[in-house]
Chain A
């Protein structure tokens, strides 16, 4: 029986691997997700008939409650709320791993016939640490994205010292439990400190750095599952967890590279000047020049005369829920024979791929969306670039100004285009807290207003031409 169970676990692992493999193309991705869910179903059913499972009432209660909440969340969440949703799911995964590890600890504690092997008790501690940090860290990330917790960079004196002390306490407590497996109170303290650490680690991270935080927590939730696999000596958990862990790490590195910052820099609370967030007016008068603004009618005429248009969306598009309006703009321009493409910066939005999902929701075909490296050379041959709610990712200071905090960050070279039209509500600074010299360039025109309203107005004007 044991051998059959393990063969099914092996098959489930293969389904997970094939599932992720199929995500390499949007054409097969849906099938991949189906494969992964079949693997999960196999694993669950096989476990349910395992001889260790003797009562089913709590399992069924758990399934019913969990499925209801999970399904409700999955159906109700708007596409703009996807970063919060993923953040929350990370947390539940990590929390579950920490709970399973704690449960294993009590199983051994309450049964004199059982003892821990050294590697198992170490895995229990690691599972509790990583799972606990993932749980509360993800809740804070959710709170920040949902606007329940301040999205600003939060700093306080002794921040790093406190984190280091807490981490050392976890190591000390963990060592005590490893040496004496009956130290129940110490284990609970380790769990508690891990939960506190999760809060303190994510709290300082600013809103626009959330793509990094969410990716990293994604990785942690996988590692926590792997550690639980070490506790249960289950290869399938180790494999599945490792796949997710690798995925999260890769996304984290892509996000960091997209901002030209080290992971440490992001985790410790971001750019020095970032504290003011997006609400403060442009600091200082270091940029000289005039800002030219256009109204809907003038902008419509500029679009009408163009042959090539590239649209650059940013977080502002998500906030204004303007993805459908952007789609309408694309449609009307294409009906006039104008070539329209989209340029997506890796860190646009609040999670990896955020813009792509929003535009997919608005039925923009995915082959019109281009990554930075695939489109950056085309801006110089482009008549009109339309920037919607993006700021730092199009700031030429990243190229020109060695003193700028974002210097060296890869940006979309929108300023190379003949005309740049920037839709924004005001001239306020972006997340990095620096003003954007692009707005003062001679080929830049500002089109002020809420993205959704402004673009709808623009579409109507183009229709009337």
Chain B
């Protein structure tokens, strides 16, 4: 069954890349900087894994790595979304 499970994950990965290509090609050049910072914040989703690592019952080296990972990912998420909003607020039409 392991092979099948992996295949399903690869399916999702490949399809998501296609969705990504379709979506991103429609973003106008004027928004490329907010696109980068915003998508960057989304890549902070790895915070989910960090929470699972830092929230284990026993304190081990995994917990420490998880804690640092949470700090990094939270900087990425909070900083990324806030700075993107700060930029997008400025884009005004005449």
Contacts and interface: CB of A to CB of B under 8 A. Distances in A.
Contacts of B16: 238-239, 242-243, 246
B12 A244 contact: no
Contacts of B27: 20, 23-24
Nearest to B92: A365
Nearest to B94: A365
A111 to B, nearest CB: 9
B19 to A, nearest CB: 6
Interface stretch (A157-165, A199-207, A214-222, A438-446): A214-222
Interface in B71-94: 71-94
Contact of A74 (B6, B52, B86): B86
A346 B29 contact: yes
Nearest to B6: A119
B66 A99 contact: yes
Interface in A226-253: 226, 228-248, 250-251
A96 B62 CA distance: 13
Interface residues of A, number: 115
Interface stretch (A53-61, A271-279, A406-414): A53-61
Contacts of A245: 17, 20
A2 interface: no
Contact of B24 (A20, A29, A221): A20
Interface in B22-44: 23-44
Interface of B: 2, 5-6, 9, 12-13, 16-17, 19-21, 23-57, 60-63, 65-94
25 contacts: A23-B38, A33-B34, A40-B47, A40-B77, A43-B47, A47-B51, A52-B56, A53-B55, A62-B50, A62-B71, A71-B82, A92-B76, A96-B50, A103-B50, A103-B53, A104-B62, A221-B43, A230-B9, A237-B46, A237-B49, A243-B24, A243-B42, A246-B20, A248-B39, A357-B87
Nearest to B60: A110
A50 B53 CA distance: 12
Given A89-B80, A238-B12, A100 B46 contact: yes
Given A89-B41, A248-B39, A357 B46 contact: no
B44 A82 contact: no
A95 interface: yes
5 interchain residue pairs of minimum CB distance: A66-B74, A246-B20, A62-B70, A353-B32, A70-B78
A283 interface: no
Nearest to B57: A54
A344 interface: yes
Interface stretch (A295-303, A367-375, A421-429): A367-375
A37 interface: yes
A144 interface: no
A106 B39 contact: no
B94 to A, nearest CB: 4
Contact of A33 (B38, B54, B62, B75): B38
A107 B52 CA distance: 11
A117 interface: yes
Interface string A27-59: 101101110110110011001101011111011
B20 to A, nearest CB: 3
Interface in A392-426: none
A4 interface: no
Interface of A: 16-17, 19-21, 23-27, 29-30, 32-34, 36-37, 39-40, 43-44, 47-48, 50, 52-56, 58-59, 61-63, 65-67, 69-71, 73-75, 77, 79, 82, 85-86, 89-90, 92-93, 95-97, 99-100, 102-104, 106-107, 110, 117-119, 214-215, 218, 221-222, 224-226, 228-248, 250-251, 254, 344, 346, 351-354, 356-357, 360-361, 363, 365-369, 371
Given A100-B69, A103-B62, A226-B13, A243 B74 contact: no
A95 B77 contact: no
A34 B33 CA distance: 16
Contacts of A102: 65
A43 B44 CA distance: 11
Given A59-B51, A233-B5, 7 more contacts: A40-B47, A70-B76, A75-B82, A222-B42, A233-B9, A236-B45, A365-B92
A132 B64 CA distance: 17
A226 B63 CA distance: 21
Nearest to B88: A30
A242 B76 contact: no
Nearest to A371: B29
A107 B93 CA distance: 52
A148 B40 CA distance: 23
A314 B32 CA distance: 16
